[in-house]
């Protein structure tokens, strides 16, 4: 069996990749010392690492063929934090990749945020469009992509998922929790659209890029095919959660002060707030939309567009794990 190593493998996406890829690959889960491993399957091969010790990482990777890099900060208080993890760590891993003979492919889980939002509902972003990230997170992912493209001297694949949901995710969990308390918040009054991808679909796309020459040195959006309005998404949630809810439209003019309050209280915490000025920039955009044709054609992939069923599975998982 081919050996794969996954950074960030205890996270939402990393743990799902580990669980599914383990069926066909020898997967090594790279995890930081002291990290929470509750999402990883019990029989995972966990190797604890210190990202400040590249020599030790190189030693661990000496007989690994594919490195999947998912570790990242999706929220941070400062640009320095984003830079250190999302850019500098990626560069360090690319150096190790170049110097490690056994490694044949570097797969980077980037983000739609690297490319930025689309201009309209009818012009979803395509991979060759100019990247126009609007947040520090997006910029850090974009710059990390550039490092891979410029420095990697062997095949790489960059996957840019749209918003990912599924068992283990803590972001969409907040929507589910609000709906359970009969509330749904929408920012502003203009219709906003998003694409979504179920985590198992993202894993399938990733899996189809592995040792696949067609995917070498390619950037691919990972998304299902529907553009969901936020109202539509919330209605779907409400229908299978079998709950009534009140939709509150928060005027955009209030978002900035709300973010400032969040940031003020987060001064006393190590964690960045759920809502800050960076997130507000993202919330205000109306068209977080991409065209998924390139990945679908290249990888012969068909996303499971049954969002209700996948949301239901996610909800059941949250209930089973008592996250909700
Ligand atoms: N979820 C989405 O909707 C979405 C959409 C597009 C792209 N992505 C990308 O997908 C990847 C995984 O996201 P996720 O949703 O699975 O996030 P997640 O659950 O927060 O997992 C993040 C992973 O990164 C690791 N990490 C965080 N800070 C680190 C640091 N300082 N040094 C080393 N590792 C660190 C975490 O390890 P610890 O537990 O040790 O902190 C964890 O394993 C990220 O690259 C993200 O940008 C996610």
CATH label of the domain that carries residue 211: 3.40.50.720
Inter-axis angle of helices 277-284 and 252-266, nearest 10: 150
Q: Is 223 helix (H, G, I), strand (E, B) or coil?
A: coil
**97 lies in a domain?**
yes
Do 245 and 235 meet the contact criterion of CB atoms below 8 Å apart? Answer: no
276 versus 130: the higher-pLDDT residue is 130
Task: Tell me the mean pLDDT in the region 190-217.
Answer: 97
If one residue of 35, 39, 70, 162 were mutated to test the ligand 1 pocket, choosing by the most ligand atoms within 8 A of its CB, it would be 70
**233 lies in a domain?**
no
Q: How far is the CA of 85 from the centre of ligand 1 (A)?
A: 10
| pLDDT for position 257 | 84
Q: Give the tokens for residue 155.
A: 């095949």
Is residue 270's pLDDT more than 80? no
275 versus 122: the higher-pLDDT residue is 122
The pLDDT tens digits for 33-58 are 999 999 999 999 999 999 999 999 99
Residue nearest to atom 32 of ligand 1 (CA): 85
**24 lies in a domain?**
yes
**21 lies in a domain?**
yes
Name the burial class of residue 43, with classes exposed (0-12), middle (13-18) and buried (19+) by CB atoms within 10 angstroms of its CB. exposed
**149 lies in a domain?**
yes
| pLDDT for position 275 | 82
If one residue of 11, 89, 111, 270 were mutated to test the ligand 1 pocket, choosing by the most ligand atoms within 8 A of its CB, it would be 11
- Quote the number of domains for the chain: 1
Decide: 13 in ligand 1 pocket, CB within 6 A: yes
**268 lies in a domain?**
no
Decide: 85 in ligand 1 pocket, CB within 6 A: yes
Is residue 118's pLDDT more than 80? yes
Which H helix or E strand runs over 98?
helix 89-99
Residue nearest to atom 11 of ligand 1 (CA): 70
In order of 40, 249, 255, 273, 282, the CA distances from 259 in angstroms are: 33, 16, 6, 8, 12
**93 lies in a domain?**
yes
The length of the chain in residues reads 324
State the residue range of the domain holding 52. 3-166+195-226+288-305
Q: Where residue 268 falls among pLDDT bands split at 50, 70, 90?
A: confident
Q: Is 86 helix (H, G, I), strand (E, B) or coil?
A: helix
Decide: 206 in ligand 1 pocket, CB within 6 A: no
**143 lies in a domain?**
yes
């Amino acid at each position: 069996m081919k050996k794969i190593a996954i950074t960030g493998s205890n996270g939402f996406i990393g743990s799902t990749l580990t669980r599914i890829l383990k069926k066909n690959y020898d997967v090594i889960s790279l995890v930081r010392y002291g990290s929470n491993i509750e999402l990883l399957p019990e029989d995972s091969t966990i190797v604890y690492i210190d990202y400040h010790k590249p020599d030790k990482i190189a030693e661990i990777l000496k007989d690994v063929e594919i490195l999947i890099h998912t570790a990242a900060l999706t929220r941070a208080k400062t640009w320095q934090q984003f830079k250190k993890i999302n850019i500098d760590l990626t560069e360090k891993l690319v150096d190790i990749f170049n110097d490690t003979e056994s490694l044949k492919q570097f797969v980077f889980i980037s983000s739609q945020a690297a490319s930025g939002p689309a201009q309209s509902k009818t012009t979803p972003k395509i991979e060759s469009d100019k990247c126009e990230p609007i947040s520090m997170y997006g910029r850090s992912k974009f710059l990390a992509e550039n490092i891979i493209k410029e420095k990697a001297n062997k095949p790489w694949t960059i996957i840019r998922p749209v918003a990912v949901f599924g068992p283990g995710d803590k972001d969409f969990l907040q929507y589910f929790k609000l709906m359970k308390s009969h509330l749904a918040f929408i920012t502003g009054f203009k219709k906003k659209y998003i694409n979504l991808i179920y985590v198992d679909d993202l894993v399938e796309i990733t899996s189809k890029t592995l040792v696949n020459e067609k995917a070498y040195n390619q950037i691919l959006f990972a998304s299902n095919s529907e553009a969901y309005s936020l109202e539509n998404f919330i209605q779907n949630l409400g229908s299978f959660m079998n709950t009534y809810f009140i939709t509150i439209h928060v005027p955009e003019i209030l978002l900035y002060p709300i973010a400032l309050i969040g940031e003020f209280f987060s001064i006393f915490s190590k964690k960045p707030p759920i809502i800050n000025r960076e997130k507000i920039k993202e919330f205000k955009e109306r068209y977080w939309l991409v065209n998924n044709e390139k990945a679908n054609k290249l990888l012969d992939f068909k996303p499971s567009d049954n969002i209700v069923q996948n949301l239901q599975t996610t909800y059941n998982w949250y209930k089973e794990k008592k996250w909700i």
